[in-house]
C-alpha cells in the first residue's frame, strides 16, 4: 500500500512540474518537466534580478553547482534541457532553439543567456552559440570538449571513449575517415563567437588526460584571440578532468557578472 501511495505521489509531483528529488537546489523552487521527450528543469531564484538574467547548464545537472548557486543568489534563473547522446549536433541545436524560445517567453527572461558547458557540454554550448550569437551574454566552459576527435575519439593524446565515439560518429553521420576532415567543432566555431565580442572563460585541469587542454581549450583560445576575441583561462595545476569548477567560484561569478552588467 505504501509503495502505491509513493508511486502516486511521484506521478503527481511530476505532473505538477516540480522536482522532489533534486536536493542540490532544494532551497529553490525547481520545475521539472519533459521537453520534446527530454528531461528539462528551471530553477527559480528567491528574488529575481531586474534584468531577468539566466544561466543555461548544458550537461551534468547539479554537478559542482557552486557557480549555479552563487548566481541563483544573485537573482539568475537556472535552466537545463538534456540533449545527451547528441554531442552538440544539429538535432541538439534544434532542441535548444525551441527550448530557448519556450523558457524565455514563459519566464520573461533576458534575450541574452549565460551558457555553461562542463566537459562534453562544451560541444552544444559552442555549436549553438556560433549560430545564435545575439542570444548569448557570455560563455563559461569547464574542461570543455572542443573537438570530437580529441574526445570521445581519442585520436590524439587523450584516452577517448570507444562506446561514446561510436555513438558520436552516428549522431553526426560520420565515419572514421570522414571525421578527419570534419570542421564543425567548437575550435572553429569559436571564431564566430569571438567576432561577436562574446566574452568567454575556461576553467580546466592542467593534468587532464580525458579532455587534454592542449587539444581543446588551448587550440580554441589561439583561434579565438586571433579573431579578436576576449577569453580568460584558469588552469588548475596537477588537476585532471575532475573536479570541475573552482572550490570558491568567485572568479567565475565575477566574470559572468561583469559580462552581464550592460545587458
pLDDT tens digits along 126-168: 999 999 999 999 999 999 999 999 999 999 999 999 999 999 9
Whole-number Å distance between alpha carbons of 168 and 208 = 21
User: Which of 3-7, 39-43, 104-108 has the least mean pLDDT?
Assistant: 3-7
Calculate ∠ Cα 124-39-121, nearest 5°: 20
Which helix (H) or strand (E) element contains residue 231? Answer: strand 231-236
Domain boundaries, the chain: 24-260
**pLDDT value for 184:** 98
What does the block give as the cell for 58? 548544458
Q: Long-range pairs for 251-257 at CB < 8 Å and ≥24 separation? A: 252/67, 252/140, 252/201, 252/203, 253/67, 253/70, 253/71, 253/74, 255/138, 255/140, 255/199, 255/201, 256/55, 256/67, 256/71, 256/114, 256/137, 256/138, 256/140, 256/201, 257/74
pLDDT tens-digit readout, 50-88: 999 999 999 999 999 999 999 999 999 999 999 999 999
**pLDDT value for 166:** 98
Task: Give this prediction's pTM.
Answer: 0.91
String of DSSP letters for 59-71? SSTTSS-HHHHHH
pLDDT tens-digit readout, 7-27: 333 333 333 333 334 689 999
Classify residue 72 as exposed, middle or buried by CB count within 10 Å of its CB (0-12, 13-18, 19+): buried
pLDDT average, residue stretch 96-103: 98
What does the block give as the cell for 56? 543555461
Whole-number Å distance between alpha carbons of 247 and 3 = 39
From residue 138, alpha-carbon distances to 1, 22, 165 in Å are 51, 26, 29
Backbone angles phi, psi at 110, to 5 degrees: -60, 145
pLDDT at 6 over 90: no
Per-residue confidence at 28, pLDDT binned at 50, 70, 90? very high
Q: State how beta strands 54-57 and 29-35 pair.
A: unpaired
What does the block give as the cell for 81? 534541457
Whole-number Å distance between alpha carbons of 118 and 146 = 11
From residue 161, alpha-carbon distances to 8, 168, 174 in Å are 39, 10, 16
**pLDDT value for 23:** 84
pLDDT tens-digit readout, 185-244: 999 999 999 999 999 999 999 999 999 999 999 999 999 999 999 999 999 999 999 999
Closest by CA to 70, choosing from 60, 82, 81, 55, is 55
Is-contact 190 220, C-beta < 8 A?
yes
CB atoms closer than 10 angstroms to residue 160: 17
Is-contact 263 53, C-beta < 8 A?
yes
**pLDDT value for 109:** 98
Residues 6+ apart with CB under 8 A from 19: 13, 30, 31, 32, 41
Q: What is the CATH topology of the domain spanning 24-260?
A: Rossmann fold (3.40.50)
DSSP secondary structure letter of residue 101: H
Amino acid at each position: 500500500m505504501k509503495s502505491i501511495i509513493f508511486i502516486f505521489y511521484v506521478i503527481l509531483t511530476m505532473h505538477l512540474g516540480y522536482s522532489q528529488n533534486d536536493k542540490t537546489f532544494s532551497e529553490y523552487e525547481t520545475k521539472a518537466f519533459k521537453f520534446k521527450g527530454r528531461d528539462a528543469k528551471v530553477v527559480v531564484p528567491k528574488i529575481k534580478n531586474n534584468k531577468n538574467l539566466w544561466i543555461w547548464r548544458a550537461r551534468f545537472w547539479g554537478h559542482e553547482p557552486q557557480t549555479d548557486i552563487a548566481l541563483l543568489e544573485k537573482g539568475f534563473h537556472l535552466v537545463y534541457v538534456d540533449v545527451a547522446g547528441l554531442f552538440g549536433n544539429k538535432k541538439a541545436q534544434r532542441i535548444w532553439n525551441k527550448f530557448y524560445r519556450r523558457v524565455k517567453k514563459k519566464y520573461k527572461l533576458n534575450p541574452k543567456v549565460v551558457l555553461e558547458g562542463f566537459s562534453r557540454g562544451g560541444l552544444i554550448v559552442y555549436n549553438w552559440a556560433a549560430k545564435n550569437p545575439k542570444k548569448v551574454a557570455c560563455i563559461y566552459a569547464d574542461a570543455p570538449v572542443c573537438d570530437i576527435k580529441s574526445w570521445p575519439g581519442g585520436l590524439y593524446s587523450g584516452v577517448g571513449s570507444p562506446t561514446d565515439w561510436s555513438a558520436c560518429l552516428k549522431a553526426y553521420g560520420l565515419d572514421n575517415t570522414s571525421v578527419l576532415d570534419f570542421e564543425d567543432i567548437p575550435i572553429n566555431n569559436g571564431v564566430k563567437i569571438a567576432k561577436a565580442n562574446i566574452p568567454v572563460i575556461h576553467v580546466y585541469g592542467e593534468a587532464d588526460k580525458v579532455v587534454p587542454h592542449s587539444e581543446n581549450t588551448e587550440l580554441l583560445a589561439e583561434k579565438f584571440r586571433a579573431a579578436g576575441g576576449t577569453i580568460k583561462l584558469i588552469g588548475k595545476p596537477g588537476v585532471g578532468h575532475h573536479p570541475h569548477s573552482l572550490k570558491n567560484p568567485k572568479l567565475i561569478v565575477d566574470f559572468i557578472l561583469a559580462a552581464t552588467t550592460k545587458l
